[in-house]
Amino acid sequence: MTTLTDPPQASFRLSMLLNDTRYRSLTLQAITAILLALAIWYLADNLIKNLRAAGLNIAFDFLGNPAGYDINQTLIDYSNQSSHGRAAIVGILNTILVAFLACVTATIFGVLAGVLRLSNNWLIRKLMAVYVEIFRNIPVLIWIIIIFTIMTAVMPGARAYLGEDPEKDMLLGLFAFTNRGVYVPAPIWNPGSGVVVAVFLLSIAGVFAYRRYATKVLYSTGRLLPMGWPSLLILFVPVVLAYFLMGQPIGLDRPDPLANRFNLRGGLQIGAPLIALWFALSIYTGAFIAENVRAGILAVSKGQSEAASALGLRPGRVMNLVVLPQALRVIIPPLISQYLNITKNSSLAIAVGYADITATLGGITLNQTGRAIECVLLLMLFYLTISLLIAAFMNVYNASIKLKER
C-alpha cells in the first residue's frame, strides 16, 4: 500500500543506466566485462587463425612422448625414457620443494633479523642493519651464483671421504659435505612406519593445541603456564613410545664411503644447485621480511610493551605474547607478497642447473618438441595456480588474526 506522503514510483528507463547512481557502476562494470571478453576472443581467434595458416595447432599429446633427458635430482622415480609429462611433474615437485623450504627459512631469518634490528644492543642492531641493506640491494641471481660457486670451489670432492683412510671424516659418521652437495642419511620405511609418522603428526597438532590453550589461560586468568618442556614432551614422548612399540620400523640408510671408489653410495644426496638456490632465496627474501617485521613491531604502541613489563613479564615474553601477536596484522599482508616472490624467483634455478618446472617444461621439453605456446601456457597456469593457492591460504590466516569488532 502507498500513502499520500510516499513519492511517486518512477518507471524504469534506459537512460537511468547512466544517469541514475544506483545503476551507473553496474553498467560501467558490465561494459568493461564485455569489452574484455571481446578482446580475449579477438586475440584467441587471431592466434588460432595464424597457427592454422602456418600449419600448426595447439595440442598437448607431446606430453606422452619419451623425454630423452636425465634429471639430476628427483622426488619421484624418473628416467630418460619417462614421458615429458612426468618430467614436468618432477619439475613441479622440485619447484614446490625449494619454494617451501625457502619460505620457511626466510621467515625464520626475517623474524630474527627484524626483532634484532630493534635490539638495545648497538652491535647487534647494526649487524642486522648491515645484513638487511647488503642482501636486499643485490639481485638474488648474483647471490645464487655466489653461493653455488663457493660450494663447488671450496667444498672438498667426494673422494676425500672415500676409502679406509679418508682425508676427511663424515660429521658424526652421518653427514658428508662435498662440492656435489650434502650427503645425509635416508629413512628406510618398514611395515609399521606409517603409525609412527601418524603419531608424529598428531604430536605436532598437540603442541599447537597446548600452546593455544596456555595462551588462552594466560589471557583469561593471568596464569602463565610453561611452554618449553611441555611442548617437547608432547612432541617426542608419544613418537618415541610408538617407535619402540612398533618394533623400530624406521631405519637409516647411511652414506657408505667404502661402497665405491669414485662417489659416496647410500643415503640421500641434497645437490649443490638445490642448496645454493634454497639458501640464496632464504637470505635474500629474509632481508625484506625483516623490514616487514620491524615495521609491524614499530606499529604497536609502546604503551603495550610498557604495560606488559609493568606486570613483570620478561622481555622475551613481552615480544612473544604481546607485541608480535599485534604486529602480525601489519606483517602478514606484505609477507604474502614475499612468499609469492620466492615462488616466482625459484625460476632462476636454471642458472645453477636445478631442474625446476622452468628448466624442464619451459627449457628442455620446449626446445625438444618445439611446442612453445603449449609449454608457456602450462608454465603460466602452474605459476598462477600456485600463487593463488599461497595467497588464499595466507589470506585465510590473515583473516583469522585480524581485530574482530563487536
pTM of the model: 0.80
Confidence tier at 269 by pLDDT (50, 70, 90)? confident
Q: How far is CA 137 from CA 109, 116, 141, in A?
A: 17, 20, 12
Please give the pLDDT value at position 312: 75
Confidence tier at 81 by pLDDT (50, 70, 90)? confident
Please give the pLDDT value at position 324: 81
Q: What percent of the chain has pLDDT over 90?
A: 22
Q: What is the DSSP string of 191-251?
A: TTHHHHHHHHHHHHHHHHHHHHHHHHHHHHH------HHHHHHHHHHHHHHHHHHTT--EE
From 344, 353, 361, select the one nearest 181 (Cα to Cα): 353
Determine what percent of the chain falls in helix, strand and coil, rounding each to the nearest 5. Answer: 65, 5, 25
C-alpha cell at 20: 541514475
Contact 131, 282 (CB under 8 A): no
pLDDT tens digit sequence for 121-137: 889 989 999 999 999 89
- What are all long-range contacts of 390-396, with beta carbons under 8 Å and residues at least 24 apart? 390/336, 390/339, 390/340, 390/343, 391/336, 391/340, 394/332, 394/335, 394/336, 394/339, 395/336
Please give the pLDDT value at position 341: 92
Across the chain, what does the average pLDDT equal? 84
Contact 327, 297 (CB under 8 A): yes
Q: Is residue 253 helix, strand or coil?
A: strand
Q: How far is CA 12 from CA 6, 9, 17, 18, 180, in A?
A: 18, 9, 9, 12, 75
Alpha-carbon torsion, ordered 46, 52, 58, 64, to 10 deg? -170
Please give the pLDDT value at position 103: 93
pLDDT tens digit sequence for 86-144: 889 999 999 999 999 999 999 999 999 998 988 888 899 899 999 999 998 999 999 99
The Cα–Cα gap between 152 and 20 comes to 69
Q: What single-letter amino acid sits at 237?
A: V
pLDDT tens digit sequence for 352-396: 888 889 989 888 888 888 888 888 889 999 999 999 999 888 888
Q: Across residues 276-294, what is the average pLDDT?
A: 92
CB under 8 Å to 221, separation ≥6 — which residues? none
pLDDT tens digit sequence for 34-63: 999 999 999 888 878 887 787 777 778 888
User: Which of 55-59, 332-336, 339-343 is the least confident region?
Assistant: 55-59
Task: For residue 83, list its beta bridge partners.
Answer: 66
Please give the pLDDT value at position 252: 79
